[in-house]
Chain A
């Protein structure tokens, strides 16, 4: 079943075309990687999906329902949760309060067909934040902050989770930890759309990869096929291979 579907999404910022006629879909139970060079429009697509700002044109459907133009808080309640590329915690709240607050507002009804344990303590445990429970979010280290960002999104009981570069700048061990968590969430019934700048990291976890370049979709398919696509190779100019 198509969980999320975007049709001809276009977004202009003044004269700048950040997204141009992008069609995409995400099926239930998939992990989809959204990749592309810096400035390709990946975060902008997340912003359009979650209602941060309206798209210039195009429609978005979630569970067959048109959600185009809805406010972010409504989209969250429908079951789409996201992380921010630059984490946006509630800095003067403890880790526990961060998650509690979101679980109070983010989910009025049980959207779950998933097997995730929604208990806050179990979420903290899963993300290795149990002993940081009372720590103020502003005092967390980079990796912990990333974990909180994902944990908080999860606390809204999403059906679809949007992850924006949650692995950027982390060491291999930390990256592996997030990869494991991502797979686990999918196995528990949560569909995932994840942005990664680094192609290699994405290829391993994704069932399918969508590639954006200069606001346009240039490839969409299984990882092996996509990374051999000449257009993709050119867009990255070998960047992804040099990087690791």
Chain B
């Protein structure tokens, strides 16, 4: 009993490395369709883990992820031809970090539903502002992006994000964010500079999202504001994390895998009804498993 348990837990600990190795060599044997699917799933995992780092932990539910993802998408579209790809990625990370610092300073004064609405509004505002700019000023709709295979960039960035979040959660920043999520009142009275921590946490989380957007952008070849700032990028990370469970990092990972595969399946099989079916499943899960899918399972195992 003990021995099998030990084997199980070492296997569990080694599994990320095994998965990473398998994924690294996947292009040698996998079909193009499957690789494209894995790329999407990885991107969703990265987004959900980034969302979880700030919103899942602090309970400041952001519905503005698309704003940062979209800015990343556009940065690649704008600078992709003139700068090397890694530089573009770093640029996207830096710009999104600074952008989110400003957004955080304004929006994080609000709590609960107000914060959610304001962040959602921000993504929509960017979407429409860029659309307006393109129609009125440049007279174009969207932009071409030099297409490249983004499998490896997304794989590497998602693993870096997961690693970074695991490490950050053990730092003072991670602990402070956790205390804010548990009781913001107690946190601020016991030495946590809550404003600073919230703004920093939000900026780090948004930086990751921008990085993913910038890395994902070349896959489309052509982007417009509707694609870049698609509200799906705002809602999915939140839904995936709440579905998977907010207690641990495995929550958003599992949530992202299950929901993105489910979405893929429903989309190809039911086309028009997939959103309704997905919504129905979500409601059932949230009502029956308030701690998320991984909450109950992991409690039994630890």
Contact residues in B for A102 (Cβ distance below 8 Å): 190-191
Q: A104 near B: Cβ within 8 Å?
A: yes
Question: Whole-angstrom distance between the alpha carbons of A108 and B194 in the complex?
Answer: 16
Which of A76, A93, A105, A156 is most buried by chain B, counting CB atoms within 10 A of its CB? A105
> What mask results when residues 168 to 196 of chain A are scored 1 for a CB within 8 Å of chain B, else 0?
00000000000000000000000000000
Q: Are A92 and B185 in contact (CB under 8 A)?
A: no
Q: Are A73 and B193 in contact (CB under 8 A)?
A: yes
Q: B56 near A: Cβ within 8 Å?
A: no
Q: Are B189 and A73 in contact (CB under 8 A)?
A: yes
Q: Are A156 and B191 in contact (CB under 8 A)?
A: yes
Q: Are A76 and B183 in contact (CB under 8 A)?
A: no
Contact residues in A for B247 (Cβ distance below 8 Å): 92
Which of B178, B192, B194 is most buried by chain A, counting CB atoms within 10 A of its CB? B192
Stretch touching chain B among A5-13, A82-90, A123-131, A223-231: A82-90
Question: Whole-angstrom distance between the alpha carbons of A77 and B192 in the complex?
Answer: 10
Interface residues of B in 151-193 (CB under 8 A from A): 172, 175-176, 178-179, 182-183, 185-193
Q: Are A84 and B182 in contact (CB under 8 A)?
A: no
Q: Which of B176, B182, B185 contacts A105 (CB 8 A)?
A: B176
Question: Whole-angstrom distance between the alpha carbons of A157 and B42 in the complex?
Answer: 46
Question: Whole-angstrom distance between the alpha carbons of A60 and B34 in the complex?
Answer: 66
> Assuming A101-B175, A104-B175, is B192 touching A90 (CB within 8 A)?
no
Q: A201 near B: Cβ within 8 Å?
A: no
B183 (CB) vs chain A CBs: closest residue:
A88
> Assuming A90-B182, A92-B247, A93-B182, is B175 touching A71 (CB within 8 A)?
no
> What mask results when residues 190 to 209 of chain B are scored 1 for a CB within 8 Å of chain A, else 0?
11111000000000000000
Q: A152 near B: Cβ within 8 Å?
A: yes
Question: Whole-angstrom distance between the alpha carbons of A207 and B179 in the complex?
Answer: 36
Q: A55 near B: Cβ within 8 Å?
A: no
Contact residues in A for B185 (Cβ distance below 8 Å): 52, 84, 88
Q: Are A104 and B193 in contact (CB under 8 A)?
A: no
Q: Are A104 and B183 in contact (CB under 8 A)?
A: no
Q: Are A156 and B190 in contact (CB under 8 A)?
A: yes
Q: Are B191 and A50 in contact (CB under 8 A)?
A: no
Which of B172, B175, B187, B190 is most buried by chain A, counting CB atoms within 10 A of its CB? B190
B193 (CB) vs chain A CBs: closest residue:
A73
> Assuming A101-B175, A105-B176, is B189 touching A76 (CB within 8 A)?
yes
Question: Whole-angstrom distance between the alpha carbons of A73 and B182 in the complex?
Answer: 16
Question: Whole-angstrom distance between the alpha carbons of A102 and B178 in the complex?
Answer: 12
Question: Whole-angstrom distance between the alpha carbons of A77 and B172 in the complex?
Answer: 16
Q: A106 near B: Cβ within 8 Å?
A: yes
A83 to chain B, nearest CB (A): 10
Question: Whole-angstrom distance between the alpha carbons of A234 and B176 in the complex?
Answer: 47
Q: Are A90 and B191 in contact (CB under 8 A)?
A: no
A76 to chain B, nearest CB (A): 5
Q: Are B183 and A105 in contact (CB under 8 A)?
A: no
B192 to chain A, nearest CB (A): 5
A100 (CB) vs chain B CBs: closest residue:
B175
Q: A107 near B: Cβ within 8 Å?
A: yes
Q: Are A72 and B189 in contact (CB under 8 A)?
A: yes
B122 to chain A, nearest CB (A): 27
Q: Which of A88, A92, A107, A108 contacts B186 (CB 8 A)?
A: A88
Contact residues in B for A92 (Cβ distance below 8 Å): 182, 247
A109 to chain B, nearest CB (A): 12
Q: Are B186 and A76 in contact (CB under 8 A)?
A: no
Q: Are A104 and B172 in contact (CB under 8 A)?
A: yes
A25 to chain B, nearest CB (A): 22
A41 to chain B, nearest CB (A): 19
Question: Whole-angstrom distance between the alpha carbons of A67 and B175 in the complex?
Answer: 27
Q: A91 near B: Cβ within 8 Å?
A: yes
Q: Are A84 and B194 in contact (CB under 8 A)?
A: no
B111 to chain A, nearest CB (A): 15
Q: Which 4 A-B pairs have the closest CB atoms?
A: A105-B191, A90-B182, A106-B191, A88-B186
A-B contacts besides A73-B194, A105-B187, 6 pairs, CB < 8 Å: A76-B189, A82-B189, A89-B183, A90-B186, A92-B182, A93-B178
**What are 24 A-B residue pairs whose CB atoms fall within 8 Å in the complex?**
A52-B189, A71-B193, A73-B188, A73-B192, A77-B191, A81-B190, A82-B189, A88-B183, A88-B185, A88-B186, A89-B182, A90-B179, A90-B187, A91-B182, A92-B182, A93-B182, A101-B175, A101-B178, A102-B190, A104-B172, A105-B175, A106-B191, A107-B191, A156-B191
